[in-house]
Amino acid sequence: MEVPRPEHPRPDLQRQEWLNLNGGWDFEVDEEGGHAPSAPKPRNAFSRRIVVPFPPESKLSGVNVLDFMTSIWYRRKARIPPSWNGRKVLLHFGAVDYEGRVWVNGKDVGSHRGGYTPFACDVTEAVGDTEEAEIVINALDNNRTGLQPCGKQSARYESYGCHYTRVTGIWQTVWAEAVPNTFIERHAIWSDIESNRTYLKLFLSGKPSQCRVRAIASRGGSEVARSEKEGRTPSVLISLDMTDQRLWSPEEPNLYDLHVELQLPNGQSDEIVTYFGVRSIRVFQGRLLLNEGPKFLRLVLDQGYYPDGVYTAPSDYALRRDIEVSKEMGFDGARLHQKVFEPRFLYWSDALGYLVAGEFADWGANLNSPEARAAIAREWAEVVRRDLNHPSLVIWTPFNERVFEKADPDVPDFLRHIVQITRTLDPCRPIIDSSGYVHVETDIYDVHDYEQDPQIFRSHYKKFGQTGSDEDLWRHHSDKSSRYAGQPVMVSEYGGTWWRPEAPEDERSWGYGKRPSSEEEFVERYRSLTQTLLKNPKISAYCYTQLYDIEQEVNGLLTHDRRPKFRPSVIWGTNRELAAVERR
């Protein structure tokens, strides 16, 4: 069987020796499951097969079960390369929704909660000298409890409204790799474009009593910077002098390769290959500045759903193509909505010059529950640590459309806490606390506005464009939200216009507002709504809903299977008009 999704799942953290474990696995739905098992399911209890990394709800998995599955099991054998003897063996999971527990050769090697973030298990002792690993995984998932974030996954049997097919269990690549006893667990990269310096911080696992780190940056195969440093602590900070730095931007997505070697006293070493882009993004006097120049963000909503793979793209090409077709329509990037996208999507965003707003899949979690709040805080921190090195990622958004009363301090205090955590982990990007509705502490003041009448839509922002005052900014729940204080303003959801003329009138399909009677009427509505935002001197960004249809939601510019509904040049012409904030 050909291995699906064979490419390395983490282009930003690669080692030379790794083993892709995608493909055919034994599979079983545990009809009586729902509680954490104490032992692995025996091998004779598996009756089905599944294709990993596709979730069992998807056609590509070969299972295609759409019912609730609160407990599922996976099993396969893997041969560990003999050359890995004497080193630590790590078993990696890109994402398992929601709670995964792993056994190798009958031994419990680890567990993880959180359906969107990666985890690794040290399986060295479990494998021993056998060179063979029998891997068994249990996944528990119940998005009807209100205790776990699950984004747009439907809590009903069927999809409805803006809630779609559920995802259970493994939905990103599974792989193994060999490392020394002390190794690079993760890293952080950031740049200061004024001083021409890039900083690399390594976080080490093991007992780094003494080590030496060498970092070499190159571009086009030629070395441009090198630095070495001794280390004696679990983290090592290195500075690279980027004298001839070339900035990363959507127009010129310049990337540098980075080779990092960790040398240990016992003669072992750990080597990783990564990359970085040099750029700045910040808020200044009501505008967004990219590389210190004013930038109007022209984004489109992308929810990361695929007709045959649900959460999982059928191929690496499919990830890249979504970005390319968006750029062909004149968008600068996307708001990655209610889902944490896989690292390879962010890699292609970096490589192709595509600006993205990273968002958490917070829907489904009841913020009044301390247990749900703890789950969000834990997993969101993992999201930020995983993705903070991508130059394409320019905004963090941990929450979407949250509404709460000012008189109840628990929820707004929790949102402030998450903003503070985000700022501590990554002080280099602006943050939207909760998109669209009620704000408590935000660097960008965004609103959602699905008004379809261009004249009424224009009236929402006309006076604000003249005064820039809090009293004149149209928004939802102004009585609950914090006051506007001069931040850049973003209309981060608008449009969403229904367009599927071939659909019967009684079909269960929906979009926002009155349905256009013709393609010409749709295009004119798109032009009018978008020009309203581009021409307003107090608006700095927009995000159109949405790039493609998803199941019953047919308000995309593409169909769900990615067929364009309009000539890309028609949309491009409107999107690329000069914005008022770019004229200042």
pLDDT for 36 equals 86
Contact 123, 159 (CB under 8 A): no
Which of helix, strand or coil describes residue 225? strand
Q: Looking at the domain assignment, is residue 377 inside a domain? A: yes
Containing structural domain, residue 299: 281-583
Query: Which of 179, 207, 226 corresponds to the end of one domain?
Result: 179
Residue 456 has a pLDDT of 98
CA 385 to CA 393: how far, in whole Å?
13
pLDDT at site 421 = 98
CA distances from 547 to 268, 404, 567 (A): 48, 30, 14
Q: Which of 179, 206, 221 is the last residue of a domain?
A: 179
Mean per-residue pLDDT for 519-527? 97
Mean pLDDT of 478-500: 95
Q: Residues 204, 130: one domain?
A: no
pLDDT exceeds 90 at position 404:
no
Q: What is the pLDDT of residue 504?
A: 67
**Which of 403-407, 514-518, 543-547 has the lowest average pLDDT?**
403-407
Domain boundary among 146, 163, 179: 179
Token pair recorded at residue 71:
């407990």
In a domain, 274, yes or no: no
Contact present, 140 and 33 (Cβ < 8 Å): yes
263 and 394 assigned to the same domain: no
CA dihedral 62, 63, 65, 71 (to 10 degrees): -140
Same domain, 187 and 321: no
Q: What is the CATH number of the domain that holds 113?
A: 2.60.120.260
Q: Which residues pair with 260 in a beta bridge?
A: 215, 272
354 and 242 part of one domain: no
Strands (E), 180-330: 183-192, 197-205, 211-219, 222-231, 235-241, 256-263, 269-276, 281-284, 287-290, 293-294, 297-302
Same domain (yes/no): 411, 544 = yes
Mean pLDDT of 503-528: 88
Residue with tokens 């409107």: 574
Instruction: Specify if 1 maps to a domain.
Output: no
In a domain, 533, yes or no: yes
CATH classification of the domain holding 263: 2.60.40.10
pLDDT in tens, 533-563: 999 999 999 999 999 999 999 999 999 999 9
pLDDT value for 63: 98
Residue pair 305/322 in contact by the 8 Å Cβ criterion: no
pLDDT at 332: 97
Cβ-based neighbours of 218, under 8 Å, separated by 6 or more:
224, 256, 257, 258, 259
Please state, rounded to an integer, the average pLDDT across all residues of the chain: 95
Q: Are strands 169-170 and 96-97 parallel, antiparallel or unpaired?
A: antiparallel
The model's confidence at residue 584, banded by pLDDT at 50, 70 and 90, is low
* 253 and 363 share one domain: no
In tens, the pLDDT along 136-150 reads 999 999 999 999 999
- CA dist 560 and 426 (Å) reads 34
Mean of pLDDT values over 435-459? 97
Structural domain includes residue 272: no
Is residue 505 located within the same domain as residue 564? yes
> What is the per-residue pLDDT for 508?
77
Tokens 């991508």, residue located:
390
- Residue 184: pLDDT band (50, 70, 90) is very high
Q: What digits encode the pLDDT tens for the residues 95-142?
A: 999 999 999 999 999 999 999 999 999 999 999 988 899 999 999 999
Same domain membership, residue 364 and residue 422: yes
Alpha helices for 212-275 (secondary structure H) = none
Per-residue exposure over 70-101, b if at least 16 CB sit within 10 Å of its own CB, e if not:
bbbbbbbebebeeebeebbbbbbbbbbbbbbb
Alpha-carbon distance of 496 to 119, in angstroms, equals: 36
Q: 12 lies in a domain? A: no
Span 188-203, average pLDDT: 97
Number of domains into which the chain is organized: 3
What percent of the chain clears pLDDT 90, i.e. is strictly above it?
Answer: 91
Q: Tokens 């982990």 belong to which residue? A: 425
Q: Could you tell me which residues come within 8 angstroms of residue 347 by beta carbon, excluding any fewer than 6 positions away?
A: 11, 12, 390
DSSP assignments along 348-389, one per residue: HHHHHT-EEEEE---TT--TT-HHHHHHHHHHHHHHHHHHTT
Determine the pLDDT at residue 397. Answer: 98
Residue in 361, 516, 488 with CA at minimum distance from that of residue 432: 488
DSSP 87-102: SEEEEEES-EESEEEE
Query: Does 207 lie in the same domain as 153?
Result: no
Q: Are 334 and 397 in the same domain?
A: yes
Give pLDDT tens digits for 157-169: 999 999 999 999 9
Is the pLDDT confidence value at 501 over 70?
yes
DSSP state of 81: P
pLDDT digits (tens, 9 = 90+) for 298-352: 999 999 999 999 999 999 999 999 999 999 999 999 999 999 999 999 999 999 9
In a domain, 469, yes or no: yes
CA dihedral 485, 486, 487, 489 (to 10 degrees): 110
**pLDDT at residue 33 in the model:** 76
The answer to whether residue 384 is domain-embedded is yes
Contacts of 569 (CB under 8 A, 6+ apart): none
Residue 208 pLDDT greater than 80, yes or no: no
- Average pLDDT for 389-402: 98
Residue type, 80: I
Distance CA 185, CA 235 (A): 10
Pair (382, 487) in one structural domain: yes
Nearest CA among 57, 53, 66, 60 for reference residue 22:
53
- Per-residue pLDDT band at 408 (split at 50, 70, 90): confident
Task: Supply the DSSP symbol for 45.
Answer: G
Q: Are residue 56 and residue 174 in the same domain, yes or no?
A: yes
The span from the CA of 124 to the CA of 110, in Å, is 12
Percent of the chain whose pLDDT exceeds 70: 99
Residue 473, domain CATH: 3.20.20.80
Radius of gyration of the chain (CA): 24
pLDDT tens-digit readout, 360-372:
999 999 999 999 9
What is the Cα–Cα distance from 367 to 75, expressed in whole angstroms?
35
Asked if pLDDT for residue 375 goes beyond 90, the answer is yes
